[in-house]
Amino acid sequence: MKVTLISLCVLVLVPWSATATVIEYGDVTLIGGFQSGNFPELWDLTLGPLELQVTYDATGLEDDLGGDAHAWTEIGVRALGYGNFNPTWMVGGAGVWLATDYDWSPNTFDPDPTGAPILDLDDKLILQRGGGLGEGSYDLPAPPPNPWANHAVWFDRDGVDQWQAAMWGAIDGVTYNTVGTYDILIELQATSATSGYAYMSVYGEPQGFYVPGWHSGPADLMPAGMAWTGDMKFMQVFYGIYGYGATHSVVLNDITVKGFLTTQVDIDVKPGCWPDPFNVSSRGVLPVAVLGSAEVDVSNIDTPTLKLEGVAPLRWDIKDVTSDGFDDLNLKFDTQEMVDALKAKERPLNDGDVETLMLKAQLVDETAIWGSDDVTIINPKGGPAAAGASSVLKTFVLYQNTPNPFRKRTTICFELRSRGSVRLDILDASGRLVETLVDEELNAGPRSCEWDAASLASGVYFYRLSSGGHSLTGKMLVAR
């Protein structure tokens, strides 16, 4: 067995600097079935380490039906362009994340009999670099010969007997008596542009494995972590839940990320147009501009590294297309190649849908940059949503709010095809009216409305636009 002893110095190789950014995203409630999402910022791990802190509240999981009802939760980082739950399956290459599980026995979360506490296994918390992988994927400081002999991987929600409490590694409120809530720290560091390593602790307790099997005293491989791969310059924080057999809920409380942000630039799909239409039947080119400014000199962009949704441009030039006195990088993409790339990512491209196109590139000094812009899909063939959408589009268009998710304020844009009575309502996750932003007669044309959610709780909200007997609804996330 090859042993690579590097774990003991992982957390001090690159010191924090004054340029590190801390973002407090707040709480995210996940209910499933299936629900997932990500935060908009991108992080560059080649500039320094990244810390992800979260309090995982699993008290809303259902266990009464045993194997007939179960759920898994994830939160971590994945490279731009991958999905928000199991970014990869049984292989690495996309990122690393916390994956939760729990014992499959019916009523596993029920308290021990009064006066007879006993150690039992309730919640399981592990790192994953590919969906479906288990404890055997840990490989730092060495692969565990017996992955089942571990420490700070399984946790007991209630008490233990006096002999179990005296065992090494039994920590009241950490490994037992957890009541189903866990303070988690994931620490990540890149070793190259495509590789890195990860460690996780729960209530400050590092994970570990025993060699060759369990024995009294500290675990032999501790702290235990894993090597992982992905595009380290373009990482996003994602989260999700998948469950079946019942309605499961978890809360990811006080999500906080500390690291180094990837530089964001402004891009404009179809410069000069608003809204930005994207005709998926077009056989022509899709123009996109990276906008220059006093802070952004587009001549420093290394164009061979530039990709929009993974597609390289056909050609480019530099000129000021916005007439603001700053040169812009003007790109031309093959429309059908872009459509194929989006379909490969299972984007539906229904008529009237709003899609966010993501661009990434590097400057000539290898600084990573990214940008995004929303487009409105024009699909003459319709799609699953087209039957209802086509008549609505003749009346108005409702766009995705920006930014989303957001912490305090967001802007909702819509466009009226003709003069009419318009109502724009904000609803909470249960469908109750929170606020009416617009309720008046308006002329045809584009409109925007800012919503201030600073006084409201984090969570999912909906905005509903009604006019001419039709309505459209969008979903947004307040995340603090």
Summarize pLDDT for 411-464 with one digit per residue, the tens.
898 888 788 899 999 998 777 899 999 999 998 877 888 999 999 988 888 898
Sign of CA dihedral 447, 453, 454, 460: negative
pLDDT of residue 93: 95
d(CA 152, CA 138): 13
Residue with tokens 């565990």: 144
pLDDT of residue 382: 59
Residue with tokens 């179809």: 270
| Residue 340 neighbours by CB under 8 Å, 6+ apart | none
For the chain, domain boundaries: 7-259, 263-384, 394-480
| Residue 363 neighbours by CB under 8 Å, 6+ apart | 300, 301, 302, 369
* CATH, range 7-259: 2.60.120
DSSP string, 373-399: EEEEEE-TT--TTHHHHHHHHTTEEEP
d(CA 95, CA 231): 8
List the helix and strand counts (H, then E) for the chain. Answer: 3, 31
CA distances from 167 to 145, 175, 214, 217, 241 (A): 22, 11, 12, 8, 34
* CATH, range 394-480: 2.60.40.1930
* CATH, range 263-384: 2.60.40
Tens-place pLDDT, residues 349-368: 888 888 889 999 999 999 99
As given in the structure block, the two tokens for residue 360 are 């990434």
- Whether 194 and 129 have beta carbons less than 8 Å apart is answered as no
d(CA 478, CA 480): 7
d(CA 14, CA 461): 40
pLDDT of residue 126: 98
- Whether 234 and 218 have beta carbons less than 8 Å apart is answered as no
pLDDT of residue 127: 98
The values of phi and psi at residue 281, to 5°, are -95, -5
As given in the structure block, the two tokens for residue 262 are 């990837």
DSSP string, 398-421: EPPPBSSSBSSEEEEEEEESS-EE
SS3 assignment, position 115: coil
SS3 assignment, position 203: coil
3-state secondary structure 177-196: CCCCEEEEEEEEEECCCCEE
User: Could you give the angle at the alpha carbon of 177 between the alpha carbons of 171 and 182, nearest 5°?
Assistant: 85
141 preceded by a cis bond (ω within 30 of 0):
yes
As given in the structure block, the two tokens for residue 78 are 């994945």
pLDDT of residue 77: 98
d(CA 390, CA 375): 17
| Residue 162 neighbours by CB under 8 Å, 6+ apart | none
pLDDT of residue 365: 94
pLDDT of residue 94: 96
pLDDT of residue 32: 86
Same fold, 263-384 and 394-480: yes
Neighbouring C-beta atoms of residue 345, cutoff 10 Å: 11
Q: Which of 360, 368, 363, 382 is nearest to 288 (CA)?
A: 360
Q: Which stretches of the chain score pLDDT less than 70?
A: 1-18, 274-275, 382-395
The values of phi and psi at residue 10, to 5°, are -60, -40
The phi-psi region of residue 345 (left if phi > 0; otherwise alpha if psi is between -120 and 50; otherwise beta) is: alpha
d(CA 478, CA 406): 5
Instruction: Tell me the CB-side half-sphere exposure of residue 146, using CA atoms within 13 A.
Output: 12
- Whether 211 and 221 have beta carbons less than 8 Å apart is answered as yes
Task: Label residues 94-132 b or e (16+ Cβ within 10 Å = b).
Answer: bbbbbbbebbeeeebbeebeeeebebbebbbbbbbbbbe
Single-letter amino acid, residue 309 = E
pLDDT of residue 393: 52
Tens-place pLDDT, residues 80-124: 989 999 999 999 999 999 999 999 988 889 988 888 888 888 999
